[in-house]
Homo-oligomer: A and B are copies of this chain.
């Protein structure tokens, strides 16, 4: 252990990466650090599979010139998931090793050190955690349920599937920011502790704040809008969003990551829709082009159709959607909101008709949107607001915002909102505010739906819901 604290005495060894173990390295003596993925002793030999993230290689410790009987025994006793340093010769193999990512070579181990020893009983087995549902059932092979996974997230995150999911998620954030930065957007940081519940007070977490109390922001919207009023013109932010909603569904979390956009526009709020849809398209293309390995890795465990999108993005009006649903037998009024099952049905109808998994639904009924939504000037029953959908589920809600203090006051009164509580919000628009709009995207939902997964907890590293606060 002391060796891990200060290795001044150690040589400046190069550690080879498992993915670089190819026949070109044959007969070289190398050092490697990896986890013991599996271990199997067999007479005077011990076969190990050594793993680094999604890559693994077979290693052989055999009694002979370089290894003693004691060493083979020592190797055989190393617990699974322990981290080891090995010195070994790379050897080409006659027959491909089908069970490893490095199929053409194996390692002949000369020295082996345990860097960190895992406890002998693992709370879950990695091979069970990556098994597709139903596979191997007749042999009595287990899969791992979600609570066991989440309770032991440190181990569950080591699977090839988890590694792929969260590397892709990192990619979504990067693509989002890079696209917007190229479009001239400025990144902002907005406070999460706020003094008043911006959206009326429902579903908000309360925080003790010294001698008073405060709230956790349900969205950065007020602050994004203040930045627009402060001449930043186009802004984005990436950060946690909190919803004290007692919803125990496959797609609700009490804390999630919001990818938020807000921008001033010149003449029409469709300029905002175009900016957002183009950003989404750049994300989809970036994932398709740069994360194919990750997508395929996830698909092995959770098969799904490739994600389809159009350019330009399909934009439907709410009235068109209602007509499509009615044609499919749904009974609903013009100004009724979409239920979750109807959203999903609509997604299927849109997919059939237009062959896309991504589209915008524009011009929602004014009555079902928040008070700060700009009414449609040509039809006061509707509004300049929109949702965006992936595989039939909502990933973004957005709108042109009312930027005039007087109209905003009128709308708040209409919604019976206490004006005193939103005074600071309304005052932000008193000193000149450009027309503007935006929206908030849920990162975990985008990842879930892009990959065709079925639970948002699969794309949140450490999910929070009404029943889960750990780890």
Task: Please list the residues of chain A having a beta carbon within 8 angstroms of any beta carbon in chain B.
Answer: 1-2, 4-8, 10, 12-13, 15, 33, 35, 52-53, 81-83, 115-119, 122, 153-158, 162-163, 166-167, 169-170, 173-174, 177, 181, 186-195, 205-210, 212, 214, 216, 223, 226-227, 229-233, 238-240, 242, 244, 246, 254-255, 257, 266-269, 374-378, 384, 400, 403-404, 407, 424, 428-435, 443, 460-464, 466, 469-471
Which 9 residue pairs across A and B have the least CB separation, nearest first?
A157-B230, A7-B267, A5-B377, A118-B432, A195-B469, A170-B187, A4-B435, A81-B432, A118-B431
Residues of chain B within 8 A (CB-CB) of A2 are 377
Given A154-B230, A431-B81: A378 in contact with B6 (beta carbons within 8 A): yes
Cα-based distance from A378 to B2 in the complex (angstroms): 9
| Residue from A122, A162, A190, A432 with most neighbouring chain B CB atoms (10 Å) | A432
Copies of the protein in its oligomer:
2
A188 to B174, CA, bound (A): 11
Given A191-B464, A210-B466, verify A230-B434 contact (CB < 8 Å): no
User: Which residues of B lie under 8 Å from residue A433 when comparing CB positions?
Assistant: 83, 116
Q: Please state if B153 and A230 are interface contacts (CB–CB under 8 Å).
A: yes
* Distance A81 CA – B430 CA, assembled complex (angstroms): 10
| Bound-complex Cα distance A269 to B7 (A) | 9
A432 touches B116 (CB 8 A): yes
Give chain B nearest CB distance to A81 CB in angstroms. Answer: 4
Q: Is the CB of B230 within 8 A of A462?
A: no
Q: Which of A162, A166, A189, A226 has the most CB of B within 10 A?
A: A189
B209 close to A208 (CB less than 8 A): no
Partner of A404 from the list B116, B375, B471 (CB cut-off 8 Å) is B116
A226 nearest CB neighbor, chain B only: B154
Q: Are B195 and A173 in contact (CB under 8 A)?
A: no
B residues near A255, Cβ cutoff 8 Å: 191-193
The listed residue (B52, B231, B461) touching A188 by CB distance below 8 A is: B461
Q: How far is the CB of A114 from chain B (nearest CB, A)?
A: 9
Q: How distant is the Cα of A268 from the Cα of B10 in the complex, in angstroms?
A: 9
A-B contact pairs, 24 of them (CB 8 A): A5-B400, A8-B268, A13-B267, A33-B434, A35-B432, A81-B431, A82-B432, A83-B434, A154-B428, A154-B431, A158-B230, A170-B187, A190-B462, A191-B240, A191-B255, A192-B255, A193-B464, A207-B208, A210-B246, A210-B466, A223-B462, A226-B471, A424-B471, A428-B471
Q: Which of B117, B229, B267, B432 contacts A432 (CB 8 A)?
A: B117
Distance in angstroms between the alpha carbons of A7 and B384 in the assembled complex: 12
A469 touches B193 (CB 8 A): yes
Q: Which residues of B contact A404 (CB under 8 A)?
A: 1, 4, 116
Residues B268 and A155 in contact, CB atoms below 8 Å apart: no
Contact B206 A208 (CB under 8 A): yes
A166: chain B residues within 8 A (beta carbon): 186, 188, 232
Is B157 a contact of A232 with CB atoms below 8 Å? yes
